[in-house]
Structure 1
Amino acid sequence: MLQSLLCLPPLESLVMVECAYNRGDIDPTFLRGHLAGNRCGKARDVLARVERGSDSLLETLARVLFRDAGIATETQVWLDGIGTVDFLLEGFLIVELDGVAFHLESRQFKKDRRRDNAAAVRGLPVLRFFYDDVVHAPEAMLAQVREVLNRGSSRWPQPEQPGFGPYRRSLKP
């Protein structure tokens, strides 16, 4: 992991380190302890972006993309009546990343659509993206996200506003 932090492009090393961290194979504190000195600044910057919770490299890439675009991004958020969502952007936009193999399996596909419906009933929009969107067309994906965020903030309840009530997000059970 140290070599990846020192030698690979930042995003690639972030994905590798975060995957190992989320599996419990490495602790960022251990890595940080081996990155002293002036020549390790970029590696420490990457390490500072490592988070617990991403279920896939795709989620790591999307989280970095959203945050670098200045979008308030929460990951793996439990929403009462809906369940855990991949992302909650600006407190009201749910973004889900779907792997074709898993999310197009009949049972999971139905479960995802029921969750989308529950979100819509509560006034929360949902956008779903695939690997190709995140990796090969990130600007198009960001354009769609920004469009909903720009139009949506006055349409859907915000966590800070009265009335968000029973749908307020809570910690994962």
Structure 2
Amino acid sequence: MTEEHWIAACDSTLQSRLAHRSDIAAELGPHGRDLLARCDGRSQSGTESLVRVRLRALGFEVVVQPQIEGVGWVDLRVGKLLIECDSKAHHTSLENYRNDRRRDRSALVRGWMKMRFTYDDVVYGWDESLDSIRAITRPRRHRMRD
């Protein structure tokens, strides 16, 4: 298992409350405890965890599960860029599909930029996905402004 996959699995364990952080730490050596420090039980999917870990490794400041006024909870935020990691299970019903589009419009109206990534985008197309994120962040269009 790669380090990022271990972190994603641990995120899931923490999020679902199958174990407490202290219990996991007690079973780990120093390297494992370093990995545990990078885990976040607020992450709600493995793809969300992978995106967070990868972006932070590249120096991005990533906020996990922020609540955005008029939009609600989103998976990740990098400045003014909102990142959603969508799965088939939670985003294919007509109701969820409509709600996602309403939330996207609300975010845009309020000055937020939003990108949605699928499992395939993150696992098999990460280079292209990262290029899209960098297209927004390189020109600093994602920076927070008053």
Structure showing greater radius of gyration is 1
SS of aligned partner of 1:140 = helix
Unaligned runs of 5+ in 2: none
2:131 pairs, out of 134, 143, 146, with 143
- 1:28 aligned onto 2:6: no
Runs of 4+ in 1 over 4 A off after TM superposition: none
Q: CA deviation at 1:148?
A: 1.0
Amino acid at match of 1:115: R
- After TM superposition, the score normalised by the length of structure 2 is 0.91
- After TM superposition, the score normalised by the length of structure 1 is 0.78
Cα distance in 2 between the residues matched to 1:128 and 1:34:
36
**Partner in structure 2 of residue 9 of structure 1:** 2
Q: Would the aligned equivalents of 1:98 and 1:129 in 2 still touch at CA under 8 Å?
A: yes
Amino acid at match of 1:147: A
Amino acid at match of 1:20: T
Unaligned runs of 5+ in 1: 1-7, 163-173
**Partner in structure 1 of residue 75 of structure 2:** 86
The total of aligned residue pairs comes to 146
Identity %: 29
**Partner in structure 2 of residue 49 of structure 1:** 38
Amino acid at match of 1:19: S
Cα distance in 2 between the residues matched to 1:152 and 1:143:
14
1:104 pairs, out of 88, 92, 98, with 92
Q: Would the aligned equivalents of 1:123 and 1:157 in 2 still touch at CA under 8 Å?
A: no
Cα distance in 2 between the residues matched to 1:128 and 1:100:
12
